[in-house]
Amino acid sequence: MSVLNVTRKRRRGRRGEQPMVPDAEFSSYYGKPVINSPVWSVPDVPGYLFLGGLAGLSSLLAAGSDLTGRDALGKVGKLGAFGAGVLSLVGLVHDLGRPMRFLHMLRVLKVTSPMSVGSWLLSGYVPLAGVAAATTVTGRLPRIGALATAGSALLGPAVAAYTATLLSDTAVPAWHDGYREMPFVFVGSGATAAGGLGLLAAPIAQMSPARNLALLGVGLELAMFRRMRTRLGMVAEAYDTGKAAKYVKAGQALSALGAVGAVVGRRNRIACALSGVALLAASAATRWGVFHAGMISSEDPKYTVVPQRERIRKRRGDKEF
């Protein structure tokens, strides 16, 4: 393989280095990325991922609470779901290059576009969550409230899960190649967040489903994250690099902390609240981590070139490289 022209110049505008810095592993064009990095910004998009998970799972929590008569937890869930849903929409619109053209999202429905699917989902989900929230707050129209709650609980899991598809359905190696596990990580992370919100805001008496949800979420998220990394192979490095590594590590630490706190401090309102905050932060950190890992993997051509080369080699059955 050629070892030329591999300087580490990333983005347009910055200056390259000596033209002939050798790199033993792969060739690239002056170290420039092969694919264009997402133009999505922070906090809009990682926030959107986080809030979507929080909203979706909160709706489930709310519906369960209604069914099991946990009014307060239900209220937290509904308000949380609606708040997060609205904020996530705000994030989405804010990130558009032409926010005034937001409605163009609803010109068509394309299953090939997770963003299209998501837009339709959200535009169904957010009003439902809104009605659910409004009815609990005002206490009016309980039947419609119940229907809305059920409806949002039905759409909620989709809202939480689709954002993984949104990321995976790109050429960004750290996202695309993780498409098998990412929905589970995201759902787990959503559960962590929704549980965390319950721990933070619900009365201690009604808290246990939230705690359970959080613990299940933490478990799922951590397990699937580990699996994702194994499958990603060298691309997993992106999750151990720079900002991504910081967020991912923080997320895991906070998850563990929150989980332990939620269990150990379960009789203490403050401990519960603190655990809740930790879990919310953990969920957010995970999304931030995933987001940055994607950026890192798109900015360094090796994440594109090496796995693709590997793929070609495997296809050709050429083992002795």
- Residues 226 to 255 in contact with another protein, rule: CB under 8 A: none
Query: Does 107 participate in binding another protein (rule CB under 8 A)?
Result: yes
Query: Does 42 participate in binding another protein (rule CB under 8 A)?
Result: no
Among 51, 161, 282, 290, binds another protein (CB under 8 A): 161
Dihedral pair phi/psi, residue 213, rounded to 5°: -60, -45
Contact between 34 and 308 (Cβ < 8 Å): no
DSSP letter for each residue of 251-262:
HHHHHHHHHHHH
**Of 15 and 319, which has the nearer Cβ to another protein?**
15
Nearest CA among 170, 163, 164 for reference residue 303: 170
C-alpha 32: how far from chain center:
27
Q: How many other β-carbons are positioned within 10 Å of the β-carbon of residue 176? A: 16
- Smallest distance from the beta carbon of 267 to another protein, in angstroms? 8
- Smallest distance from the beta carbon of 179 to another protein, in angstroms? 5
Going residue by residue from 283 to 302, which x/- string records binding to another protein, judged by CB under 8 A?
-----------x---x--x-
Query: Does 147 participate in binding another protein (rule CB under 8 A)?
Result: no
Query: Does 123 participate in binding another protein (rule CB under 8 A)?
Result: no
**Of 76 and 139, which has the nearer Cβ to another protein?**
76
Q: Which residues contact 103 (CB under 8 A, 6 or more apart)?
A: none
For the chain, how far is it from start to end, CA to CA, in angstroms? 10
Among 43, 124, 127, 157, binds another protein (CB under 8 A): 157
64, two tokens:
């369960």
Query: Does 139 participate in binding another protein (rule CB under 8 A)?
Result: no
Query: Does 261 participate in binding another protein (rule CB under 8 A)?
Result: no
Query: Does 271 participate in binding another protein (rule CB under 8 A)?
Result: no
C-alpha 273: how far from chain center:
23
Q: Which of residues 15-34 bind another protein (CB under 8 A)?
A: 15-20, 26-30, 32-34
- Smallest distance from the beta carbon of 46 to another protein, in angstroms? 14
Among 25, 42, 71, 101, binds another protein (CB under 8 A): 101
**Of 131 and 199, which has the nearer Cβ to another protein?**
199
Among 55, 81, 105, 285, binds another protein (CB under 8 A): 105
d(CA 57, CA 71) in angstroms, rounded, equals 17
Separate counts of helices (H) and strands (E) for the chain: 10, 0
Contact between 298 and 305 (Cβ < 8 Å): no
Contact between 10 and 34 (Cβ < 8 Å): no
Q: How many other β-carbons are positioned within 10 Å of the β-carbon of residue 25? A: 13
DSSP state of 16: P
- Smallest distance from the beta carbon of 320 to another protein, in angstroms? 18
Q: Which residues contact 142 (CB under 8 A, 6 or more apart)?
A: 135
**One-letter amino acid for residue 123 of the chain:** S
Among 54, 207, 236, 279, binds another protein (CB under 8 A): 207
Query: Does 158 participate in binding another protein (rule CB under 8 A)?
Result: yes
- Smallest distance from the beta carbon of 140 to another protein, in angstroms? 26
Among 83, 91, 145, 217, binds another protein (CB under 8 A): 217
Residue with tokens 């899960």: 161
- Smallest distance from the beta carbon of 247 to another protein, in angstroms? 19
- Smallest distance from the beta carbon of 114 to another protein, in angstroms? 7
